[in-house]
């Protein structure tokens, strides 16, 4: 199944993400279609909703950022969508999240437990730490480097019971992107590190010494073998 919004000739990373979305949509019990109503509900959203409907996947349309005026005042739900299948939420304030959880529970089928109760993920800690660094980078950089940045954990030392030492590279494709990620006098990379370290310490339950470096690696997102090495697919 093709995912609307990605054109022919897109870079390999986009195509791989496209296939991951398609696979997840085929296998999921309930689909959440997240929309920024301030930016508008477009043809690509409607096309994906209709494809999910064709394969009889229960689908909830979720309008995000409802704490912002542009989103709060936008028309919702879109034409042709039942009010029960369209919700508004704010990740920042928590508004609408209880209703979303309730709607999901009502639509999810009962089934056996697939993983032990204390198992949080099937991914290794190195990967989760890298994702927390990448999340921190996205939050600090806002829209400046949306998908041009990856994180590679170079070392992950757990030899001490009270401290984990992590060294990681932020991979960008151009020198100009490196300048943005580093910031004036290293200010941006320090902010990213501070935010990421707090998240990793919460995950691991231990103190973390985190070293971050920004490395220019042209065309990393165009090399399938490289983003597989990074653990993304």
**What number is the average pLDDT over the span 176-194?**
94
Mean pLDDT over residues 38-61, rounded?
87
Angle at 148 between CA 147 and CA 154, to 5 degrees: 110
What are the structural domain ranges in the chain? 12-107, 125-229
- Whole-angstrom Cα distance, residue 55 to residue 26? 8
In CATH, 12-107 is 3.40.50.300 = yes
pLDDT tens digits, one per residue of 114-129: 777 766 666 788 999 9
Q: Which CATH number fits domain 125-229: 2.40.30.10, 3.30.300.20, 3.40.50.300, 3.40.190.10?
A: 3.30.300.20
Residue 26 DSSP class: H
The predicted pLDDT at position 5 comes to: 42
Mean pLDDT for the chain overall: 85
pLDDT tens-digit series, residues 204-224: 999 999 999 999 998 887 888
> pLDDT tens digits for 148-178?
788 999 999 999 999 999 999 999 999 999 9
pLDDT band at 20; cut points 50, 70, 90? low
pLDDT of the residue at 146:
61
Please give the helix or strand (H or E) that residue 45 lies within, else none.
Answer: helix 43-54
**Cβ proximity of 219 and 173 under 8 Å:** yes
Cα gap 199→152, rounded to integer Å:
17
d(CA 61, CA 79): 12
């Amino acid at each position: 199944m093709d995912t609307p919004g990605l054109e022919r000739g897109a870079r390999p990373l986009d195509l791989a993400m496209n296939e991951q979305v398609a696979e997840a949509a085929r296998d999921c019990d309930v689909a959440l279609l997240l929309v920024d109503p301030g930016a508008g509900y477009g043809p690509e959203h409607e096309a994906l909703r209709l494809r999910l409907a064709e394969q009889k996947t229960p689908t909830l349309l979720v309008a995000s950022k409802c704490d912002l005026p542009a989103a709060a005042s936008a028309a919702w739900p879109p034409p042709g969508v039942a009010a029960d299948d369209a919700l508004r939420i704010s990740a920042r304030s928590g508004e609408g999240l209880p209703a979303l959880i309730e709607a999901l529970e009502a639509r999810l089928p009962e089934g056996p437990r697939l993983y032990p109760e204390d198992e949080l993920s099937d991914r290794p800690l190195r990967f989760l730490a890298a994702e927390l660094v990448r999340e921190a980078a996205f939050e600090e950089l806002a829209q400046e480097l949306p998908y041009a940045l990856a994180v590679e954990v170079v070392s992950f030392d757990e030899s001490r019971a009270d401290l984990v030492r992590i060294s990681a590279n932020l991979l960008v494709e151009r020198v100009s992107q490196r300048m943005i990620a580093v910031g004036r006098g290293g200010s941006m990379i320090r902010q990213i590190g501070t935010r990421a370290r707090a998240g990793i310490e919460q995950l691991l339950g231990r103190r973390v010494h985190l070293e971050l470096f920004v490395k220019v690696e042209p065309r990393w997102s165009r090399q399938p073998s490289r983003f597989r090495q990074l653990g993304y697919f």
